[in-house]
């Protein structure tokens, strides 16, 4: 608790910022709850904090959700790229056969003209 004593010196705006952005700052729930209790002692109720949107940071939560989706989609993209690269590596041996077949067809077509 002595680590939290410095919070008593902060003004309400800074405490509200801590409550709203505690995840972004890397704080834990215990510190957040202590700050909420400190604000309640100073005249703020949980209902007031909720009503004004100070209990949650929806922008941060949305950004965190998008970041997780980005990581997941990036992994899918990398796996697809590796898979397609493996297919591309195996293509040159097949390409020679196709090229020879096309050459034969062209030669045959020129023969009849």
Q: Within 10 A of 96 (CB to CB), how many other CB atoms are there?
A: 10
Q: What is the pTM for the complete model shown?
A: 0.52
Q: Reply yes or no on whether the pLDDT at 99 is more than 90.
A: no
CA 76/CA 97 separation, integer angstroms: 32
Count of Cβ atoms closer than 10 Å to residue 65 Cβ: 10
Specify the pLDDT at position 1: 57
User: Can you give the pLDDT at residue 85?
Assistant: 78
* Strand (E) or helix (H) holding 92: helix 58-112
Query: In whole numbers, what is the pLDDT of the chain averaged over residues?
Result: 80
């Amino acid at each position: 608790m002595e680590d939290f004593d410095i919070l008593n010196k902060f003004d309400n705006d800074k405490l509200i910022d801590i409550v709203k952005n505690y995840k972004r700052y890397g704080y834990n729930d215990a510190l957040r709850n202590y700050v909420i209790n400190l604000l309640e002692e100073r005249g703020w109720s949980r209902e007031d904090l909720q009503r004004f949107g100070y209990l949650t940071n929806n922008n941060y939560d949305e950004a965190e959700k998008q970041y997780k989706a980005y990581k997941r989609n990036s992994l899918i993209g990398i796996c697809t790229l590796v898979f397609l690269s493996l297919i591309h590596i195996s293509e040159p041996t097949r390409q020679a056969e196709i090229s020879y077949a096309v050459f034969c067809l062209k030669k045959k077509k020129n023969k009849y003209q």
